[in-house]
Structure 1
């Protein structure tokens, strides 16, 4: 019988995020998330940076479970909006995790703006037993489209075209998106670190 894969627990209840991580790293680890552990607490993201929020989640969840915990905090930074929505990307439309409302607000505030440059940024933290082991970051430059395109992905994917592409992340398909994305770039660093650790 093949050996059991080691477990990597993602400190999120966002199934889309877990699936992306599983697609990128899943052949090396059995990727679970907090949905697999019903009694885990909800961690308040009170930080003002991606690193602060990712650390809060990784440390809190790693105190409750056995094994490696990976947390991710990520968001969209729009230059014409002074870097907003940033760490508040998931609640930008006024309701946590409501992607249509977030996208509608972004389209409204960007209407008529000629500078449409933006980036997705991701920070990941690995923790075990309440201690931070390492942190990693990745980003991808691009632009905000004037209207949403594509049915794939999640969040702001229909409104974001990565540099060198005319199509949105939502149009590119998961394999192409994962190769280009902020999360994919951060995860490549996570995977290299885990490999070096053995």
Structure 2
């Protein structure tokens, strides 16, 4: 079964391929030119479905085999910031770069005189195909700190420490992070779903 990933984010694709080992995962931008998708949903689920449906509409006419389009919308929710950055995690700074987004979270916490806060990651994984549209969620709970640590991962990984751990996601190797991450948990549910569809 081929899965078309509704993303051109190479790091995200690597992580998803590590988890969905039994499927052939291809970035949609390897098949057609990348195009802008307006993510104007009010939740992770809505945005994940918007992306998956948009790519499915473009791809279905050129595919001659069975496939699903998989989209992931995920983000960091920080208690001390009233739930920010939330669904705006990927574009929180306005620049859209990982470094700028990370720095904005750190700066906003420091402005409040806070060195750490409870936080969680949420991932909504949506699949769209000829058999319908589905979405599941995965969560990773812990805290954020204001001193980035580690060289692995991407996004907010350098400041997120999972519950019952002392290292950030960016200090973990891919295998360890993938067993704890919000994306891993949502994709596990996707794999179960695909067995019955």
Matches within 5 A, 1:150-169: 150-169=150-169
1:63-102 aligned within 5 A: 63-65=57-59, 66=63, 67-96=67-96, 98-102=97-101
- After TM superposition, where is structure 1 displaced by more than 4 Å over at least 4 residues in a row? none
Structure 1 stretch 17-26 or stretch 110-119: which is displaced more?
110-119
- By how many angstroms is 1:10 displaced? 0.8
User: What corresponds to 1:15 in structure 2?
Assistant: 10
SS of 2:114 mapped into structure 1: coil
Distance 2:88 2:133 in 1: 26
The equivalent residue for 1:24 is: 19
**Mapped partners of 1:132, 1:57: distance in 2:** 15
Q: Distance in 1 between matches of 2:116 and 2:150?
A: 22
Does 2:147 match 1:147? yes
Aligned-pair CA distance for 1:114: 5.8
Aligned to 1:3: none
Give the one of 26, 32, 44 matched to 2:38: 44
Unaligned 5+ runs, structure 2: none
- 1:58 and 2:57 correspond: no
Return the alpha-carbon distance in structure 1 between the equivalents of residues 83 and 52 of structure 2: 25
Name stretches of at least 5 consecutive residues in structure 1 with no aligned partner. Answer: 1-5
Partners of 1:63 and 1:128 within 8 A in 2: no
Aligned to 1:189: 189
Cα distance in 2 between the residues matched to 1:53 and 1:133: 13
Query: Take 1:22 and 1:119, find their aligned partners in 2: how far apart are those partners?
Result: 23
Conserved? CA contact 2:75–2:121, under 8 Å: yes
> Structure 1 length as normaliser, TM-score?
0.91
Distance 1:108 1:115 in 2: 12
**Post-superposition CA distance 1:38-63 (Å, at most 9, x none):** 33532111112111110101111111
Q: Deviations over 1:102-157 (max 9, x none)?
A: 1111111111226600000000111015x743111000111011200000000000
Indicate the residue corresponding to 2:29 in structure 1: 35
Task: State the aligned residue count.
Answer: 189
Residue 117 (1) aligns with residue 118 (2): yes
Residue aligned with 2:93, SS? coil
**C-alpha distance in structure 2 between counterparts of 1:33 and 1:165, whole Å:** 32
**SS of residue matched to 2:3:** strand
TM-score normalised to structure 2 length: 0.91
